[in-house]
């Protein structure tokens, strides 16, 4: 019975996603992924009782990153002069990681630390959260994230699983505010599933409250955000320059090879160009690119099989590669120089069809790092001027 349900539900996902997955690589790996999308995943319906116990955020084990603990999020790209400021940074970043739970028979992660999902979370700390260690103390909660299959089984199951996961993120943020931040300015940062949760925090918790004035900026990247989401916000707006404060930036990265093939799902979405930090920014030349950083470790994309940890190791971050791409916003999409023949394309950042969702952070690592430092500096200068 489960197989029949999954066949029926999965066929629509194959039409929308599978073809792109199939031709993304010639080695058959993503072809297998397409079949897994169609026929794998947890049984329906979503059952909130079939979940792990709520994580206790007073327990350091339920944080993927904490500033008082050395971790892969502390790594700095080779040759960069940033120093370790985790003990002294005057600003915090609350980082919400994307989906790393790509296999399993539950709709939300069971919080098992000895799994590939947990290793994927560490990949996110090493290659995404680390972009903020030059400006801020880094806090990143582990949470009962939604299974990747929630994105392939229709809106109802997606909203149920994501809504369940958001409750953890909300509790972690509340704990962060009470026990860690304690009145300090903060940055919200995220990717993909994390961006879904981060945007809800902006809408439901931060906007219209004193927290909006403590928000330096929100880097809610990847996953698609409609510009209309910000229409009803009173305090949190969309950033329009490199130094705007109390605002949000977002982009979804694609190859410029498909720029003439409009992506209907992205029409009306927010697009910030991270080379010039302009909203709906036009073509920005390679000379503005601060640098891509090759991902450390291996992100495990298997959608079936064993969940057991495989022993991924994370080498030091490589030196940045600057001035390697141009970028422009068009119709809610950020198009960059094609990466098919680069190490970034080879690392699995392409989702097929020109979709570089996996590269939203790596190819702009230094652009994010330097801009976060600039916005924090701008915020602190303005605050200092206001009290003098």
Rounded Cα distance, 280 and 251, in Å: 10
Are both 22 and 160 inside the same structural domain?
A: no
* 155 plus 282 within the same structural domain: yes
Q: Dump the DSSP string for 52-63.
A: PPPP-TTSGGGE
- Tally of structural domains, the chain: 2
Which residue range(s) make up the domain with 119?
46-387
Same domain, yes or no: 95 and 182: yes
Inter-axis angle of helices 2-13 and 29-39, nearest 10: 130
Q: Measuring CA to CA, how many Å separate 187 from each of 71, 199, 207?
A: 19, 13, 14
Q: Write down how long the chain is.
A: 388
Same domain for 28 and 97, yes or no, is no
Helix (H) or strand (E) holding 162: helix 155-175
In angstroms, rounded to a whole number, what is the distance separating the alpha carbons of residues 50 and 305?
A: 20
Helix (H) or strand (E) holding 96, with range, is strand 92-96
Does 130 share its domain with 277?
A: yes
Which one-letter DSSP state was computed for residue 246? S
* Domain co-membership, 97 together with 180: yes
Considering the domain architecture, whether residues 230 and 345 belong to the same structural domain is answered as yes
Per-residue pLDDT of the chain (388 residues; tens, 9 = 90+): 333 333 233 333 333 333 333 223 223 334 445 545 555 789 889 999 999 999 999 999 999 999 999 999 999 999 999 988 888 999 999 999 999 999 889 999 999 999 999 999 999 999 999 999 999 999 999 999 999 999 988 899 999 999 999 999 999 999 999 999 999 999 999 999 999 999 999 999 999 999 999 999 999 999 999 999 999 999 999 999 999 999 999 999 999 999 998 888 888 999 999 999 999 999 999 999 999 999 999 999 888 889 999 999 999 999 999 999 999 999 999 999 999 989 888 665 667 789 999 999 999 999 999 999 999 999 999 998 887 7
Residues 60 and 25 in one domain: no
Omega before residue 45 within 30° of 0, cis = yes
Taking CA atoms, 122 is separated from 72, 91, 252, 308, 312, in Å, by: 7, 22, 22, 15, 9
Task: Name beta bridge partners: 308.
Answer: 115
Strands ordered across the beta sheet of 327-330: 253-255, 333-336, 327-330
- Whether residues 27 and 140 share a domain: the answer is no
Do 28 and 102 lie in a common domain? no
> Are 302 and 339 found together in one domain?
yes
Residues 32, 117, single domain; the answer is no
């Amino acid at each position: 019975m489960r197989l029949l349900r999954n066949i029926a539900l999965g066929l629509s996902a194959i039409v929308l996603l599978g073809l792109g997955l199939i031709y993304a690589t010639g080695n058959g790996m993503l072809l297998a992924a397409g079949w897994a999308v169609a026929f794998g995943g947890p049984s329906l319906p979503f059952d909130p009782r079939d979940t792990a116990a709520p994580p206790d955020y007073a327990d350091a084990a339920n944080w993927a990153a904490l500033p008082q603990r050395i971790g892969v999020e502390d790594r700095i790209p080779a040759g960069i002069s940033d120093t370790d400021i985790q003990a002294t940074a005057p600003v915090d970043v609350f980082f919400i990681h994307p989906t790393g739970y790509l296999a399993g028979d539950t709709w939300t992660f069971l919080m098992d630390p000895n799994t590939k999902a947990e290793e994927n979370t560490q990949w996110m700390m090493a290659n995404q959260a680390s972009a903020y260690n030059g400006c801020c103390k880094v806090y990143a909660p582990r949470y009962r994230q939604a299974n990747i299959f929630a994105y392939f089984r229709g809106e109802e199951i997606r909203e149920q699983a994501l809504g369940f996961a958001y409750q953890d993120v909300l509790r972690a943020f509340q704990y962060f505010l009470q026990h860690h931040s304690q009145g300090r300015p903060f940055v919200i940062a995220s990717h993909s599933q994390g961006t879904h949760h981060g945007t809800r925090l902006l809408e439901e918790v931060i906007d219209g409250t004193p927290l909006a004035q403590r928000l330096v900026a929100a880097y809610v990247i990847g996953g698609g955000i409609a510009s209309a989401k910000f229409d009803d916000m009173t305090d949190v707006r969309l950033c329009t320059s490199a130094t705007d404060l109390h605002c949000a930036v977002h982009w979804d990265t694609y190859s410029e090879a498909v720029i003439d093939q409009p992506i209907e799902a992205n029409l009306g979405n927010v697009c910030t160009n991270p080379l010039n930090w302009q909203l709906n920014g036009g073509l920005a030349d390679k000379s503005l690119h601060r640098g891509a950083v090759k991902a450390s470790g291996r992100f495990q994309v298997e959608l079936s099989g064993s969940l057991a940890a495989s022993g991924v190791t994370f080498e030091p971050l490589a030196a940045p590669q600057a001035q390697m791409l141009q970028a422009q916003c068009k119709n809610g999409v950020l198009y960059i120089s094609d990466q098919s023949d680069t190490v970034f394309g080879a690392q699995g950042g392409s989702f097929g069809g020109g979709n570089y969702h996996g590269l939203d952070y790596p190819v702009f690592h230094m652009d994010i790092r330097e801009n976060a430092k600039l916005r924090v500096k701008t915020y602190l200068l303005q605050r200092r001027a206001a009290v003098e």
